[in-house]
């Protein structure tokens, strides 16, 4: 159950999306440079991506890789990032978190979300359930954590086939409800797709798109996935078609960025 990336042009993408008989999985659309990205979070307010790279710098880019703004975090480094309402949640990768504004102002003191977290390499806040999803590299687990720190769900990477030994980025597709996680180059360098109940649905190799996948986020309006690749200093955009999980898909909202290939900010000339 290991698939490979397909690369298509925008014109072919449109033709594919209009054909109900074509079973798509993941299609590479484009990529752009970003220095050593380790964590991503999509921000619909700015039609952009928050990018961190294990330094104190937090950068907002548009969907073509042009910088919009940046700030320096209070934490010693930032390994993972999530959008939580109007604020950002930062993690230093060692279990310490801090909530800040989009301008970088502190909304909380540094704190530990849960004493059961050791190595936060991926972070996602689920606005529907108000829970946090964490990819813990040391434990090879994906954990669903409540605001009070209680772990309510675990996905064990070593129990999967193939195994997910070093989960890095994590996100949730609000359309299908599927949980998406990337495993880095020290393991399988693949995208793992799970049903909401933790069942493994699919594993897709990322080796032809980039090396050492570290972060992932989804733009739900267009079903576009962005993956951060540490080796090569790159972020890649993919068109994503979810594996059915037995649940009815949620409707896609109109959003502000209906076509990821033509966002509010025009691509560079």
Domain ranges of the chain: 2-16+25-240
Describe the strand order of the beta sheet including 151-156 as a list of residue ranges.
120-126, 131-136, 141-145, 151-156
Query: Cβ neighbours of residue 185 under 8 Å, at least 6 residues apart?
Result: 211, 212, 213, 231
* Encoded tokens for 70: 């940046």
Q: CATH top-level class for 2-16+25-240?
A: mainly beta
**Rg of the chain's alpha carbons, rounded to an integer?**
17
Q: Sign of dihedral through CA atoms 55, 65, 62, 241?
A: negative
Please state, in angstroms and rounded to a whole number, the distance separating the CA atoms of residues 219 and 229.
Answer: 18
Nearest CA-CA partner of 170 in 184, 160, 180, 158: 180
Phi then psi dihedrals of residue 180, to 5 deg: -115, 130
Helical segments of the chain, H only: 10-17
**In a structure prediction context, what are the per-residue pLDDT tens digits for the chain, which is 269 residues long?**
445 444 443 333 333 333 333 333 899 999 999 999 999 999 999 999 999 999 999 999 999 999 999 999 999 999 999 999 999 999 999 989 999 999 999 999 999 999 888 889 999 999 999 999 999 999 999 999 999 999 999 999 999 999 999 999 999 999 999 999 999 888 889 999 999 999 999 999 999 899 999 999 999 988 999 999 999 899 999 999 999 999 998 887 766 675 444 433 444 44
pTM: 0.87
């Amino acid at each position: 159950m290991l698939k490979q990336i397909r690369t298509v042009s925008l014109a072919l993408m449109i033709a594919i999306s209009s054909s109900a008989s074509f079973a798509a999985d993941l299609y590479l659309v484009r990529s752009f440079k970003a220095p050593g990205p380790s964590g991503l979070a999509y921000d619909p307010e700015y039609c952009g991506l928050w990018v961190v790279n294990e330094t104190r710098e937090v950068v907002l880019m548009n969907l073509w890789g042009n910088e919009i703004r940046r700030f320096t975090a209070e934490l010693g480094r930032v390994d993972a990032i999530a959008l939580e309402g109007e604020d950002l949640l930062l993690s230093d990768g060692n279990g310490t978190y801090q909530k800040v504004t989009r301008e970088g102002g502190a909304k909380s003191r540094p704190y530990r979300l849960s004493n059961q977290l050791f190595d936060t390499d991926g972070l996602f806040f689920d606005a529907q359930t108000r829970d946090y999803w964490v990819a813990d590299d040391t434990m090879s687990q994906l954990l669903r954590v409540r605001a009070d720190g209680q772990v309510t769900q675990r996905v064990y990477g070593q129990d999967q086939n193939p195994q997910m030994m070093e989960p890095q980025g994590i996100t949730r597709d609000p359309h299908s409800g599927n949980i998406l996680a990337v495993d880095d180059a020290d393991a399988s360098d693949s995208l793992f797709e799970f049903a909401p109940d933790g069942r493994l649905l699919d594993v897709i190799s990322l080796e032809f798109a980039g090396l050492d996948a570290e972060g992932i986020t989804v733009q739900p309006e267009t079903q576009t996935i962005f993956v951060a690749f540490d080796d090569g200093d790159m972020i890649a955009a993919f068109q994503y078609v979810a594996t059915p999980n037995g649940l009815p898909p949620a409707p896609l909202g109109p959003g502000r960025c209906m076509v990821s290939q033509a966002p509010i900010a025009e691509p560079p000339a």
